[in-house]
Amino acid sequence: MDFKRFGWLAALLAVIWGVEAVNLLTGNALNGWLGLRPRSLGGLDGIVFMPLLHGSVAHAAANTAPLAVLGALLVITARSVAVVASLLIVVLGGLGVWLFGNPAIHVGASGLIFGWFGFLVARGLVEKRLVPLLVAAGVAVVYGTMVWGVLPGQPGVSWESHFFGALAGIVAAIWIAERRWVARGGEAGEIQDLAIWAVPFGLVGARAYHVATDAGRYFGDGGNPWEALYLWKGGLGVWGGIAMGALGVYLGARSKGIRIAPVLDAIAPGVLVAQALGRWGNWFNQELYGRPTDLPWGLEIDPRNWPGDLTFPLGTTFHPTFLYECLWNLAAFAVLIWLDRRFRLGHGRVKAAYVMLYTAGRGWIEMLRIDDVELADVGGLRFNVWTSVVLFLAAAAYLVWSARRHPGRDEAVYTDRHVSSLVPDTAPD
């Protein structure tokens, strides 16, 4: 094995421990000078320096092992892009913390660790490379502090860096996938162009659904209507996000002359992966958990985050419904890919199968949850359970109708009004 390719990783670990030695001699003075301070111009340099700084020897030691393992895995499986992906993770993750982080000094390589973790998982799923996916997941389990550290409220822990690090890792993986798509003959930029439409529409829709189904929190007695706009305080409804995101894709596709059915079929499997990763935000915030359980994987929740009208004995553990949905979505992703390959699904049937798979899991998972919602009892079921049932039946009906009306896959993915995103070659022959 060529160990020279690990040189930058060894240098990174050496610099981290060199910086920690200086911190020990100076009473952590470097953290005050170079740490990231959100929304402070003087703290912008912390975007670069934050991964090199740590609060203590124990903090640096805890990060060294996962850095070494995940970094080595990154070098082995993605040598050509390892450095570029790492730089993207540092910059994008750091910018996220600078824009949205709590007003404190943020230090530590945890953002980079979570970025590598997210990158390796996303890359493993996209490229169907089982080994890096399993190793990355194994590191996350073995080093449980990696995951538990994303919980807000832990003294001295920058959960924002973990969150935005993982997010940046996913962005980096998408960027790499775009390059690979172009290398295989695809037209560059079309999915990214559609994402510009889908993301803002999806955010508006997700927030609108949450506010509409829990309106009393904002417009009832003691509520503050302006908080309906406070996205940073949490509260996004997946149903509204999917619906409005699809509308955004439709508008973007229409403007570029792209047929909506094939593009939705192309996007649907990736949405399941995005939803799986997004569910970890519920763990970050200790929210949307299930009823008490004695199962070994039960989740302990801070009493401050228990439902307002319920109390439990200290030490009670709860169903980690976010984890159930994450695993269900990843399994549904695999099933959806298999169905598409086995039956050559087209004309929107991949999207329909996605809806059926997701709602089948969301329905039973939703019935485990005990969080406060305004529509907790609609005919004996939570409103979101009814939503799952209705959407499952609608998707099943469409799947049957489409299979009879349009068997096989789409013969064309563009309309006659297709607008290419490629720059024409204007050089003379």
In a domain, 239, yes or no: no
> Residue 233 falls within a domain, yes or no?
no
Co-location of 20 and 140 in the same domain:
yes
H or E, element range at 76: helix 57-77
Q: Say yes or no: 170 and 272 in one domain.
A: no
Co-location of 275 and 171 in the same domain: no
Tell me: do 41 and 138 sit in the same domain: yes
- 3-state SS, residue 317: strand
Domain contains 144: yes
207 contacts 235 by C-beta, under 8 angstroms: yes
Q: Residue 186: inside a domain, yes or no?
A: no
At residue 310, the pLDDT reads 80
* Closest C-alpha to 157, from 145, 167, 168: 145
On whether residue 220 sits in a domain, the answer given is: no
pLDDT of residue 150: 39
Tokens, residue 423: 């720059």
C-alpha distances in Å from residue 175, one per residue of 47, 302, 421: 21, 38, 17
Q: From the CB of residue 137, how many other CB atoms can be counted at a distance below 10 Å?
A: 14
Same domain, 170 and 268: no
How far apart CA 227 and CA 222 sit, in angstroms, is 12
**Helices 321-343 + 260-278 axis angle, to 10:** 150
Same domain, 263 and 352: yes
| pLDDT for the residue 273 | 78
Q: Evaluate whether 110 touches 161 at the Cβ level (below 8 Å).
A: yes
Question: Which 8-state DSSP code applies to residue 428?
Answer: -
Distance CA 190, CA 186 (A): 9
Q: Are residues 22 and 160 in the same domain?
A: yes
Domain match, 38 and 129 both: yes
Q: In this predicted structure, which of 24-38, 70-84, 292-306 has the lowest mean pLDDT?
A: 70-84
Regarding whether 166 and 41 lie in a shared domain, the answer is yes
Among the residue ranges 190-194, 254-258, 296-300, 360-364, the one predicted with the least confidence is 190-194
Tens-place pLDDT, residues 140-188: 554 444 444 434 444 444 555 545 544 554 454 355 435 433 433 337 6
The answer to whether residue 425 sits within a structural domain is: no
Mean pLDDT of the chain: 78
Residue 121 lies in a domain: yes
Q: Say how many domains are in the chain.
A: 2
Q: Inform me whether the pLDDT recorded for 324 exceeds 60.
A: yes
Q: Are residues 144 and 262 in the same domain?
A: no
Of 124, 145, 178, which closes a domain?
A: 178
The last residue of one of the domains, among 159, 178, 197, is: 178
Residues 173 and 287 in one domain: no
Which of residues 178, 211, 233 is at a domain's end? 178
Domain that holds residue 307: 257-405
- Please report whether residue 293 resides in a domain: yes
pLDDT at 146: 44
Residue 97: pLDDT band (50, 70, 90) is: confident
CATH of the domain at 50: 1.20.1540.10
